[in-house]
Amino acid sequence: MTAPTTTRPSSETADLLQQTAPSPRPVDAERVAALVTQLLTALGEDPTREGLADTPTRVASWWADFLSPHTSANATCFTETGVNEQLIVVGGMSVWSLCEHHMLPMNLEVAVGYMPDGEVVGLSKFGRIAQRNAGRLQVQERFTEQVAAEITRATGSADTAVIVRGTHLCMSMRGVRMEPARTISSRKGGRFRTDPVLSQEFLTLATAHWRTP
């Protein structure tokens, strides 16, 4: 019997594998609090009034927590020789990020797929990858590429796929104000790019839980 093969990273995925999300510098919480005080004043508010007195500190604390760099732990892998050629899809992951164009929140629903080759990756790793890349000023397209690059490194295979559905407040509450609008982005590598049946199976499983806006 011919042993199943897994597409390894080639020149097509070399650039993807080299992608690494930059580590943000530590947040200057004291300065952020001072700037929030200035912003409240510019908006016609009294930053010393009841209800706003501690707002600058709270806002600065949130920014420091959200944008704190997190190191990437090594992926935990488990030997499972009997699962080769099986499609693994991890969906239902939802993370918050910030649009770097308007600094407004965006909610990103993430699903990933891969083909194991003798071992499987610990499931929590996928959620941590999504959270880490979301915790910064982002655009959905770059987020999708960065998650795909980390998944490819974690699995050791180019046979990976990522699909993201984003709800952007910069479109829902400003500009055209189209609350139901959703943005879809995907990145497919290896056999997910070349095998239309595998690609369609992934898309069907990955989007099955999505609710209609």
CATH of 76-206, one of 2.30.30.360, 3.30.420.40, 3.40.50.300, 3.30.1130.10: 3.30.1130.10
Which residues in the chain come in under a pLDDT of 50?
1-9
Instruction: Tell me the angle at which helices 55-66 and 29-42 cross, rounded to the nearest 10 degrees.
Output: 130
Chain-centroid distance, C-alpha 2: 37
75-121 tens-digit pLDDT: 688 877 777 889 999 999 999 999 999 999 999 999 999 998 888 89
**Dihedral angle over CA of 8, 12, 18, 19, nearest 10:** -110
Q: What residues does each domain of the chain span?
A: 29-66, 76-206
